[in-house]
Amino acid sequence: MEIRNIEKELAWQLRHEVMWPEKDADYVKLPDDDKGRHYGLFAENQLISVVSLFIDGSDGQFRKFATRVSEQNKGYGSILLNHLLVEAQQAGIKRIFCNARREKSRFYEKFGLAATEEMFTKDGKEYIIMERVFA
Ligand SMILES: CC(C)(COP(=O)(O)OP(=O)(O)OC[C@H]1O[C@@H](n2cnc3c(N)ncnc32)[C@H](O)[C@@H]1OP(=O)(O)O)[C@@H](O)C(=O)NCCC(=O)NCCS
């Protein structure tokens, strides 16, 4: 198993397959993707999980975190997210945040992220902004 920096196109494939298979492939592309750092976790050379980091000054946001459906709940996403948090700290980020699907907030709490009071609904899904401030 290894984690590599990947091109945005590879991230798009898994994002589409996992997060929004019912939408057009373009739906998962972000205007900021050219500025993002995209990470992929591979097992036996197959891409299993992706996440993207966007840095804005001392703030970092991770977005579009997705694990291949057949490989979920095996710990891969946690390994990838821990890697991203280390990378974010090494990049000098002071605050990391994400727009978490509400049902995933417990998961992010395990990584030291806490729910803020900011919430919103998009495409019928409820989101809550979660953050962690690095010491
Ligand atoms: C969110 C997501 C990326 C997590 O990836 P993952 O690879 O499944 O993550 P993990 O396997 O590390 O953890 C998932 C759960 O499995 C549990 N788990 C981890 N290893 C495990 C193991 N060996 N055996 C059983 N359970 C395990 C974790 O504790 C976690 O439980 P929780 O959700 O109750 O907190 C994945 O569920 C996904 O792609 N979801 C669809 C897209 C999405 O919702 N993205 C996030 C938007 S905020």
* Predicted confidence (pLDDT) per residue in 29-85, tens digit: 999 999 999 999 999 999 999 999 999 999 999 999 999 999 999 999 999 999 999
- Mean pLDDT throughout 9-17? 97
- pLDDT category at 130 given cuts 50, 70, 90 is very high
| Helix spans in the chain (H) | 8-19, 76-90, 105-109
| Token representation of residue 94 | 């002071």
Closest CA to 96 of 122, 59, 47, 121: 59
Domain positions in the chain are: 2-97
**Does residue 66 line the site of ligand 1, with CB under 6 A?**
yes
pLDDT at 123: 84
Separation of 73 CA from ligand 1 center, angstroms? 4
pLDDT at 135 over 90: no
Closest CA to 13 of 43, 37, 45, 48: 48
The tens digit of pLDDT for each residue in 89-124 reads 999 999 999 999 999 999 999 999 999 999 999 989
Separation of 86 CA from ligand 1 center, angstroms? 19
| CATH number, span 2-97 | 3.40.630.30
Pairing of strands 95-101, 59-67: parallel
pLDDT at 10 over 90: yes
**Does residue 100 line the site of ligand 1, with CB under 6 A?**
yes
Amino acid in the structure at residue 78 = S
- Is the Cβ–Cβ distance between 18 and 69 less than 8 Å? yes
Query: Which atom of ligand 1 is nearest to 107's Cα?
Result: 35
Amino acid in the structure at residue 57 = G
